């Protein structure tokens, strides 16, 4: 079992998560969070990411197209992901139930110093609200089949499995998830 450092200087798991759109000044911190998470996942036997993905180039492209969103505390990128409507070609084989506009979550990362503190769930709350504000009808994402924490998070948030995809250089498939969003009358 991994040992997690307790932090007393972070917002409570029930407080609102302050999310900002990533800029070039966040690139190095985001890469550090990805590298720290990759190292810790590999230590736990989860070969989800490597030196090639998500790379500096992938993160820089997310900054350039305005799709990188982050929570930063005291200079550390705590949690972040790319949020856009671009679906990997592998998604074509999935059994999506919702044919409307979907927002896709790419490379959700939580810095390991902040694991098991509720940040991933709170970020997903933000992502779902953001998608609704853009009038997307669904959320889509994939999670590495060996990453039980990620699978549990998405299932607990009401995401349904839509199939499996295989990405290059991965020993196990990724499970694709979808969640239909309900828009309130006030959002119109």
Q: What is the pLDDT of residues 14-23, one digit of tens each?
A: 556 789 999 9
**For the chain, percent of residues with pLDDT exceeding 70:** 88
Q: What is the mean pLDDT of the chain?
A: 89
Predicted local confidence at residue 17, as pLDDT = 77
In a domain, 47, yes or no: yes
In a domain, 10, yes or no: no
Contact 96, 178 (CB under 8 A): yes
163: left (phi over 0), alpha (psi -120 to 50) or beta: left
Contact 47, 38 (CB under 8 A): no
In a domain, 63, yes or no: yes
**For the chain, percent of residues with pLDDT exceeding 90:** 78
In a domain, 61, yes or no: yes
Contact 150, 168 (CB under 8 A): no
Strands 138-144 and 102-110 turn out to be parallel
**Mean of pLDDT values over 20-43:** 96
pLDDT at 80 over 50: yes
Predicted local confidence at residue 158, as pLDDT = 97
Total domains in the fold of the chain: 1
CATH number for the domain spanning 118: value is: 3.40.630.30
**Mean of pLDDT values over 74-80:** 92
In a domain, 25, yes or no: yes
Q: What is the rounded CA–CA span in Å between residue 123 and residue 98?
A: 22
Owning domain of residue 31:
20-181
Count the neighbouring beta carbons within 10 Å of the beta carbon of residue 160.
15
Contact 109, 81 (CB under 8 A): yes
Predicted local confidence at residue 7, as pLDDT = 39
Question: What is the pLDDT confidence band of residue 12, given thresholds at 50, 70 and 90?
Answer: very low
In a domain, 6, yes or no: no
In a domain, 187, yes or no: no
pLDDT at 169 over 90: no
Query: pTM of the full predicted structure?
Result: 0.88
DSSP state of 65: T
- Helix, strand, coil percentages in the chain from 3-state DSSP, rounded to 5: 35, 25, 40
In a domain, 12, yes or no: no
Q: What is the rounded CA–CA span in Å between residue 181 and residue 183?
A: 6
């Amino acid at each position: 079992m991994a040992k997690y450092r307790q932090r007393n200087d972070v917002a409570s798991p029930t407080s609102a998560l302050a999310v900002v759109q990533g800029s070039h000044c966040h690139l190095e911190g985001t890469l550090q969070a990805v590298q720290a998470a990759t190292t810790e996942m590999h230590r736990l036997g989860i070969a989800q990411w490597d030196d090639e993905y998500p790379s500096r180039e992938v993160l820089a492209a997310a900054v350039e197209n305005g799709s990188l969103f982050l929570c930063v505390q005291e200079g550390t990128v705590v949690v972040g992901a790319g949020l856009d409507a671009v679906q990997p070609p592998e998604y074509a084989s999935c059994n999506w139930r919702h044919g409307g506009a979907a927002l896709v979550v790419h490379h959700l990362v939580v810095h390991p110093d902040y694991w098991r503190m509720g940040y991933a769930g709170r970020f997903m709350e933000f992502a779902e609200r953001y998608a609704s504000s853009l009038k997307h009808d669904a959320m889509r994402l994939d999670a590495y089949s060996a990453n039980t924490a990620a699978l549990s998070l998405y299932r607990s948030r009401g995401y349904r499995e839509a199939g499996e995809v295989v990405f290059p250089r991965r020993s196990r498939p990724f499970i694709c998830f979808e969640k239909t969003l309900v828009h309130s009358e006030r959002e119109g």
